[in-house]
Structure 1
């Protein structure tokens, strides 16, 4: 592509954004593959699978494997709806501006509020989850206080990397993607070829995890682990103003995130399952960390350290992508004057073209959540479990918003459209999302402390209630003049223009 063609493409992108009521000073230099890498490292199949593998097996036995395929198909439906929306509204911040254009200011403000706190708690969760790996790799004995310090250091490092600019973000995301995918393929292939102890038939054997009840409930419970591995594709749209030709590139990158990230998660899960030597010990909980057991038996101490290094890169790149998504959401909020401190959050650095204040907040809030663990270990665990549920709630506010807009006459006008499939895919995506949220929040362990058993429900109610109070008392949605709730009106205007054009050509 020539310099002239690139310049024309960038001018068209700027014109499209201006027509949507915005101008941008972001560097529009992120390629399709780099944009995809951002979504992939946010989704991070290695982090997702390794973090919850034991929970999935103890809940549903080996057949839990099939959940990674079923959940992937469900999230693909959501991804397709997001693709239609971002293709027409390629605006930084993702879920908040999409909801704003589909439904209106209040709906958008609440969707963004839920998504913001879900992102912040997820950043804290990933940092806390990655701390033991860094400790082990450094030869440090893992302790609760030590892991908190390490988690804080990880958040600080990724914040500093993020403020360095779009190019560094894109490069680090690309490095993270290559390392994680290569690690997943190499380790998975080695386990399947040289360390397989189980037959493929084990994928259909429950090992009586269901007890005296129906296996269906155990299978559904284990699906929560797969749900943890299938979000992140929305991050591709969070940096829409940093990607050339976003109406085409971002829907494509989103789908690639589901396809490649999902395939990697499925492959790693299959390899780990078939490499387990003592399945009853894993299901009973006697082997509390089957991933480490499998890797140690198959690869030895040196191999384990190499894999742990790859896993650690995955944690860092995941944190980097999560913070980038959070900062773009805060920037988008600030640009529309929708939150306290907007005049600082909406500024970009003249040197790096990055929202520095928003990035600092995207590091500070998760750091505070992590530091709560110094004083209230159980409290921070309760807060962190909100991450996954909150992201799914925010997703479904967009999916429901799209359905509301369709009912008013919205017909997507971006370069990626589902056309006649729009309605059935939208309805199916909403049905899947609601079922997923209920499944994630359903209390299943009466023997656990109430704050763990009802943690997702409790934190979700608190976040929604605080958001509602903030919105009612301060009315942030009344600030700013950016367009809102105009998706269906744009469709009507375009339809009218087409009719007028047809009449003129006929005459």
Structure 2
């Protein structure tokens, strides 16, 4: 870890306290693994596939490739920003420095809320859908709560103990996931074809969902069946920006991070769609899939047999654990970044780097406590997985929409990039991203998303109360972000050519 060095002035007007820096030791594969591990198609599909079957039928999987295109356009915009402002905190840092600290803080708080709820959603998937099928026991709200709490604790301990070890574990887990998902998809196609258990006509079936009005947009308080199917991809293909949250620990971040994010979205999009086709084609000839609480696990066991099926389910558990690990890591870095700027509750404790572990230990413990609180809130709900999945889809949509809107408004005044640029594709990419995000957010008018909206509004109220106190104590002028020269310093530390701020860049 680099020696602590004073930078700038404090919001109170005096000299700033020395700021600590974490070691810059991550390469391309580590960055790719973070993006790939957070997205985790195994996690997203195992979590949300049952909801798609019930709301949209098997035909709903055709919303996936459209969603991938929409999310890829967002990844490209995020890549352009990461190449210009390679600092931990991603959207919080970008919006704070380009638009202003008030909007930046709002974006940071939404990001924090998302990471807290999606961590619980991911780990709850292990307890509620995979382990009951793997060990053949009856899953209940009580045992799912206990198992999830233990998994969250293990991930927090690993993140707090060592960043290097965390990345080694994640790199191995991502490699296992990549090999395992490819093997699983190939085996489903091969064994399913050999045993006559593939029905490709099932891919276009609506099952119990009425075919009439299937593609309708819906009304004021409900979305159409096909529209609801987009949530599978929207829940799964998120978190690629977590690579940008580790920018200060990545070598040559302006070049490495955009590449890692885009490659993660493309590879996961293609592999995920092939897996969905294999599972859905087989689901038409496997008894009990429609009634199963774990339809993907039921299909795998039905096609490949119990022994092979359970081996592959173990690989899925590893993949999901890796996803939760990356989310914990990303949440810890966001809390640390906001605390370093004295913007987060308890910032004086949460911005500290532990001398022995060289990790933001206090921030790791804080994320653990937040996850346990969120888990307790949802622990008595019989529909906890759907509510967590819905909130974990709504929040990133809000983050992406706010960040893309900022890019559209301020792209002419951004600092120059030395690593990645959209070039002549900027306008088409922004059009696709804007249309996609507007459509996605409209889906959440459906009455079934009432609980996630309540969760979001409660968290917003808590954040608003704290931020009002922050403004009262310091005033707006006291929230000025560090000068854009810090961005140049970050690029210099990464070994790239210094990028000069453009005219009119916000400070």
Q: TM-score range by the shorter chain?
A: 0.7 to 0.9
8 Å contact from structure 2 (residues 44, 235) kept in 1? yes
Aligned partner of 1:339 among 330, 338, 344: 344
Deviations 1:386-440 (A, max 9, x none): 222112111211111111212x64364342011233234224312211221221x
Please state how far the C-alpha of 1:124 moved relative to its aligned partner: 1.2
Please state how far the C-alpha of 1:295 moved relative to its aligned partner: 1.5
Distance 1:428 1:292 in 2: 34
Distance 1:254 1:103 in 2: 24
- Residue in 2 aligned with 1:492? 503
TM-score normalised by length of structure 2: 0.85
Distance 1:358 1:388 in 2: 24
Instruction: Please say if 1:195 is aligned against 2:192.
Output: yes
8 Å contact from structure 2 (residues 254, 418) kept in 1? yes
8 Å contact from structure 2 (residues 191, 304) kept in 1? no
- Residue in 1 aligned with 2:78? 82
- Residue in 1 aligned with 2:493? none
Which range is displaced more, 410-419 or 289-298?
A: 410-419
Alignment of 1:167-246 (within 5 A): 167-196=164-193, 197-207=197-207, 209-216=209-216, 217-246=224-253
Distance 1:270 1:482 in 2: 48
Distance 1:128 1:416 in 2: 37
- Residue in 2 aligned with 1:482? 481
8 Å contact from structure 2 (residues 61, 229) kept in 1? no
Which range is displaced more, 311-320 or 244-253?
A: 311-320
8 Å contact from structure 1 (residues 102, 484) kept in 2? no
- Residue in 2 aligned with 1:443? 446
Distance 1:387 1:277, change over 3 A: closer
Distance 1:493 1:462, change over 3 A: closer
Aligned partner of 1:318 among 318, 323, 334: 323
Distance 2:97 2:277 in 1: 41
Please state how far the C-alpha of 1:377 moved relative to its aligned partner: 5.6
8 Å contact from structure 1 (residues 413, 491) kept in 2? no
Please state how far the C-alpha of 1:61 moved relative to its aligned partner: 2.7
Please state how far the C-alpha of 1:345 moved relative to its aligned partner: 1.3
Aligned partner of 1:262 among 259, 264, 269: 269
8 Å contact from structure 2 (residues 133, 294) kept in 1? no
Distance 1:58 1:379 in 2: 16
- Residue in 1 aligned with 2:365? 360
Alignment of 1:51-130 (within 5 A): 51-130=47-126
Deviations 1:42-83 (A, max 9, x none): 101011111111222332233322222110100111101100
8 Å contact from structure 2 (residues 101, 479) kept in 1? no
Distance 1:138 1:59, change over 3 A: closer
Distance 2:272 2:32 in 1: 16
- Residue in 2 aligned with 1:472? 468
Aligned partner of 1:152 among 145, 149, 154: 149
Alignment of 1:293-304 (within 5 A): 293-304=298-309
Please state how far the C-alpha of 1:193 moved relative to its aligned partner: 1.0
Instruction: Please say if 1:162 is aligned against 2:159.
Output: yes
Which range is displaced more, 117-126 or 216-225?
A: 216-225
Secondary structure in structure 2 of the residue aligned to 1:351: coil
Distance 1:296 1:185, change over 3 A: same
Which range is displaced more, 137-146 or 61-70?
A: 137-146
Distance 1:300 1:376, change over 3 A: closer
Distance 1:207 1:373 in 2: 30
Which range is displaced more, 29-38 or 294-303?
A: 294-303
TM-score normalised by length of structure 1: 0.85
- Residue in 2 aligned with 1:50? 46
- Residue in 1 aligned with 2:424? 420
Distance 1:374 1:62 in 2: 30
8 Å contact from structure 1 (residues 105, 484) kept in 2? no
Distance 1:157 1:479 in 2: 38
What 5-or-longer segments of structure 1 have no aligned partner? 1-9, 446-452, 495-507
Distance 1:372 1:303, change over 3 A: same
Distance 1:425 1:140 in 2: 48
Please state how far the C-alpha of 1:277 moved relative to its aligned partner: 3.7
Distance 1:443 1:493 in 2: 41
8 Å contact from structure 2 (residues 47, 385) kept in 1? no
Aligned length: 469
